[in-house]
């Protein structure tokens, strides 16, 4: 009985003193684990012309002022949301802005604008990872000798519901990686609206390429792989689509293109809606099921087959327009 009484006294004393220190430590660790902040996956940062790069936190209530600052703070996989307004070097942006591994989303395609000037060679840049740019305009980049509104040399990029316009050189320039355009407009750039080189892949769906000034709508080089569906290529001074290398799938027998390639070759010369200027013996260009402004069917073979719709320069090269 005496030992039992002492044990009860001990329990009482422990209760008055509180739990042992090691119990407090274990509880604290457990609480910290339960309340730890989320990982970077799913992070969203906000930017507004009314924001503040110094005092802002990137939250919806305290946005940054520039995309430049948001990108500097964003972990891989983050989404950056831009409010409507114009973002330029005058408002604090430092171009080019590398958005590799990020999603950049504007409030509206025409209301959210990244604007360049004569000293801004490139606007947005992607070099690695998976990137998405949607619902905004990128305009006015390039020096006349080089540059593009969007430049890419690796990784993957989805451009969706975007506008790339009024560049002093190219609307977009692809040197490597895989770029996909969906519901995107590339228009009124001073050189080729779209240029792709190297061992790159370019895909276009439900988009518009129009009014390149003094050059081609789409110009493809080297080993580029190109695929296009339900897209309009219109009113370029040069050819609508010119291949100096690579391969093109503009529509197959089982998957018709549904593209409209008309009104190009305004500058005349050898320009055409589709121009095959690749080395001799290149792969056949497939172009089934498109509106070319004229009824064209069958396989055309160069270099003697020239017409306003097509031009084939290399001996033995072919364009298959389908039945």
CA 56 → CA 48, 69, 138, distances in Å? Answer: 10, 10, 24
pLDDT digit string, tens, across residues 90-110: 999 999 999 999 999 999 999
Q: Which two tokens stand for residue 267?
A: 């500058």
Query: pLDDT category, 291, cuts 50, 70, 90?
Result: very high
pTM, rounded to two decimals = 0.86
* CATH no., domain 45-320: 2.160.20.10
- How many Å apart are CA 44 and CA 58, to the nearest integer? 8
- How many Å apart are CA 269 and CA 287, to the nearest integer? 22
DSSP 254: S
CATH 2.160.20.10 domain span(s) along the chain: 45-320
Query: pLDDT category, 214, cuts 50, 70, 90?
Result: confident
Query: pLDDT category, 42, cuts 50, 70, 90?
Result: low
Which residues fall within 8 angstroms of residue 309, CB to CB, at 6 or more apart? 272, 273, 274, 292, 293, 294, 296
Q: What percent of the chain has pLDDT over 90?
A: 78
What pLDDT, on a 0 to 100 scale, did the predictor assign at position 34?
A: 35
Which residues fall within 8 angstroms of residue 179, CB to CB, at 6 or more apart? 152, 156, 157, 159, 172, 196, 200, 201, 202, 203
């Amino acid at each position: 009985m005496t030992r039992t009484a002492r044990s009860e006294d001990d329990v009482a004393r422990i209760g008055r003193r509180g739990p042992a220190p090691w119990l407090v430590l274990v509880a604290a660790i457990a609480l910290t684990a339960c309340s730890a902040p989320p990982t970077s996956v799913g992070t969203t940062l906000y930017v507004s012309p009314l924001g503040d790069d110094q005092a802002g936190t990137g939250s919806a209530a305290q946005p940054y002022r520039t995309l430049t600052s948001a990108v500097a703070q964003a972990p891989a996989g983050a989404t950056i949301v831009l409010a409507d307004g114009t973002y330029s070097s005058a408002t604090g942006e430092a171009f080019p802005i590398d958005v590799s591994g990020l999603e950049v989303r504007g409030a509206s395609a025409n209301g959210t604008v990244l604007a360049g000037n004569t000293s801004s060679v490139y606007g947005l840049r992607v070099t690695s990872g998976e990137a998405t740019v949607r619902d905004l305009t990128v305009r006015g980049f390039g020096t006349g000798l080089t540059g593009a509104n969007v430049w890419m040399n690796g990784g993957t990029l989805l451009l969706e519901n975007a506008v790339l316009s009024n560049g002093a050189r190219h609307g977009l320039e692809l040197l490597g990686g895989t770029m996909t355009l969906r519901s995107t407009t590339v228009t009124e750039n001073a050189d080729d609206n779209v240029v792709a080189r190297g061992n790159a892949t370019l895909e276009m769906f439900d988009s518009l390429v129009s009014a390149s000034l003094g050059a081609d709508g789409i110009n493809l080089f080297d080993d580029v792989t190109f695929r296009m569906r339900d897209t309009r290529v219109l009113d370029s001074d040069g050819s609508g689509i010119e291949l100096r290398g690579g391969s093109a799938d503009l529509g197959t027998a089982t998957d018709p293109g549904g593209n409209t390639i008309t009104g190009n070759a305004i500058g005349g010369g050898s320009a055409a809606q589709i121009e095959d200027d690749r080395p001799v013996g290149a792969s056949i260009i497939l172009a089934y099921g498109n509106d070319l402004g004229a009824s064209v069917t069958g396989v055309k073979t160069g270099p003697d087959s020239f017409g306003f719709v097509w031009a084939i320069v290399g001996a033995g090269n072919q364009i298959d327009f389908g039945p």
